[in-house]
Amino acid sequence: MSLEHDPDFAPIEKRIRDNVGRQGFMGHVGAELSELSRGACTIEVDRRPELLQQHGLFHGGVTAFLVDNATTIAAATSRGQPALTAEYKLNLLSPASGERLICRARVIKPGRQVAVVAADVFCVIDGVEKHTATALASIAMLDEKAAARMPSPA
């Protein structure tokens, strides 16, 4: 959805991008928030030796991190309120090799207390995307008071 159709999204996008920019783990992993719109988020990470397991594939923990973060961010964009992962089910479909991992998350059902978000992870091999994982997440939507009680260490 473009900003011309959703002018209320601009301050939400700024707040989320600022908050994600303060996440130390995003920087540690080298992940970047590449796309953000209401109810959707894409996070990408380039292949680095530190992110691989013993067979030279992306570690499953990297895939799980991308799903965890992208689904929570997507939920936060849907209603413009803070969110935390409550649970997710991750299915690893094929080995994650290649030069890059891309996680695309989209809100299936926005809710006042819980949002349901789906995510798909792709690895890029010679410019071609290969589906490597899929997930479904329940994201707890927080009110501003609850979020304020959790001070950021960043």
Q: Residue 112 maps to which CATH number?
A: 3.10.129.10
Q: Is 126 among the domain residues?
A: yes
Q: Is residue 95 part of a domain?
A: yes
Residue carrying structure tokens 């950021």 = 152
Asked if the structure places residue 100 within a domain, the reply is: yes
For residue 133, being part of any structural domain is answered with yes
Does 153 reside within a domain? no
Quote the domain boundaries for residue 74. 9-148
Q: What's the total number of domains in the chain? A: 1
* pLDDT tens, per residue, the chain with 154 residues: 444 577 889 999 999 999 998 999 999 999 999 999 999 999 999 999 999 999 999 999 999 999 999 999 999 999 888 999 999 999 999 999 999 999 999 999 999 999 999 999 999 999 999 999 999 999 999 987 766 666 655 4
In a domain, 4, yes or no: no
Q: Per the domain annotation, does 128 fall within a domain?
A: yes
In a domain, 142, yes or no: yes
Query: What is the reported pTM?
Result: 0.90
